[in-house]
Amino acid sequence: MLNISGGLLGFYLQPLVTFFLPTRESLDQAAYARGQKVGYFRRLLALAVDYCVLGIITFAIAVIWRLLKLPTIHSEMLQYCLATGAYFLMLPVFWRGKTPGQSLLQLQIVADYHPRWAIFWRQLLLFFIVIPSFQLWRVTLDAAVASGQQHFDVYLFIIGLSLLPPLLFTGNFLLSWVTKRPQLFYEKLTHTTGH
């Protein structure tokens, strides 16, 4: 009698208990979504690999350039724009959203729509605005120190303005890290994600 009453009680309580448990489909969807998120460590590692590959390529080009005795490019900004533009802008656009570092770590930039343009704008924002902005305040500070007391208030204002982009990016990074949403502002603007 006790066995039968326990079975009947379990039979009638089962719908109430399973209502609070997740379904198999929702568990599968959550596991799939977790697998699609790319952590910051993998992104940073891919970036480090890419910069190593870019360094090797630019060194080889510089050696060949000197051996051929071609005129040198004295502008560091022009060198940065050419190397970074070719490697980080054009390569992902034509190589399905991957650079060699991303390919090695099995990462890919995926766009919601118009993938080539979205990837181009994402990379342009990242490598020509966000990353250089971390150097801009130092260049301005050097110019302020070199000028002495002349126009110090203007330089102080410019230093404050040039600190805004790195501080905003760092805040965005920390906020997305804490909330476990790895999509940064430049990815939201361009509707891209890293897979």
Three-class SS state of 111: strand
With the CA atoms of 92, 94, 96 and 99 taken in that order, what torsion angle do they form, in degrees rounded to the nearest 10? -30
Tokens of 43: 């992104």
CB-based contact 133:167 (threshold 8 Å)? no
Return the pLDDT at 33.
58
Return the pLDDT at 190.
87
CB-based contact 119:187 (threshold 8 Å)? no
Return the pLDDT at 45.
92
Taking 90 as the threshold, does the pLDDT of residue 50 lie above it?
A: yes
Query: What angle do helix axes 76-84 and 40-67 make, rounded to 10 degrees?
Result: 120
In the predicted model, what is the mean pLDDT of residues 132-146?
81
Return the pLDDT at 52.
94
Least confident of 25-29, 50-54, 59-63, 68-72: 25-29
Taking 90 as the threshold, does the pLDDT of residue 49 lie above it?
A: yes
Return the pLDDT at 53.
93
Of 160, 156, 179, the residue nearest 168 (C-alpha): 160
Quickly state the pLDDT bin for 31 (edges 50, 70, 90): low
Q: How does pLDDT run across 57-111, given as a tens digit for each residue?
A: 988 888 888 888 878 777 777 888 888 888 998 999 899 889 999 999 888 888 8
Return the pLDDT at 35.
54
CB-based contact 172:185 (threshold 8 Å)? yes
Give residue 195's Cα distance to chain centre. 11
In the predicted model, what is the mean pLDDT of residues 165-170?
88
CB-based contact 88:95 (threshold 8 Å)? no
What's this model's pTM, rounded to 2 decimal places? 0.72
What gap in Å lies between CA 148 and CA 184, rounded to an integer? 39
Return the pLDDT at 134.
85
Between the alpha carbon of residue 134 and those of residues 6, 88, 191, the distances in Å are: 68, 18, 24
Of 106, 4, 91, the residue nearest 45 (C-alpha): 106
- Which of 15-19, 161-165, 191-195 has the highest average model confidence (pLDDT)? 161-165
Taking 80 as the threshold, does the pLDDT of residue 43 lie above it?
A: yes
What gap in Å lies between CA 147 and CA 139, rounded to an integer? 12
